[in-house]
Structure 1
């Protein structure tokens, strides 16, 4: 299964963390496409995409299970007058490749899903202190 997560400029995935998960055989592979600079604030960063390769586990009979957790970090948000920044994390896209047992000529079936009932969308509210905003505004002005 391939999980594709499109990240807004307000969050990033750390490639070193993902490489550690691959090294510990948690995932078969992982890659980040787009903005790799971890130090950039949200204002100066671009969107990125995280791709994680994993396998299904067959725990009970014909039921297949897979769990994917991508460690995300918030970037320094754009400052606003109300002191809040909203980062919207969308549903990931999933790509499944299945081998058909006993039929090598039709060895793969590919399906793409954009949302599953078991997934929950997450909205992260980052609260920036007004005191920090005022001191920043004073230093800039």
Structure 2
């Protein structure tokens, strides 16, 4: 039963509206999902929120929008984009580098790609940064 599930998981398609999208043909969908989550987080914020929190949320939205643009314009590998979507720690590190260190988004994505390929390095870097 588990073997069948593994095979099925590899061929699952996502549905977006009425359109069927294969995630490996549209890797930016992972980043779009993060942007959607960020919008929902901002939308569900209980007011009154202080101005700094609102500015932080707006900055996160612009970060995810820029990630979408880069992913659409650039051919990143499946592993790079999936790492950004699935690894919450990597997404937080990406935000840290973009917001605090003012690292360009392309460099952030390359950093994520390198961290995604080596779990041992990724764990050490995450522990160091977080």
Shorter-chain-normalised TM-score: which range?
under 0.3
TM-score by length of 1: 0.21
Structure whose CA Rg is larger: 1
TM-score by length of 2: 0.22
Q: Which one has the bigger helix percentage?
A: 2
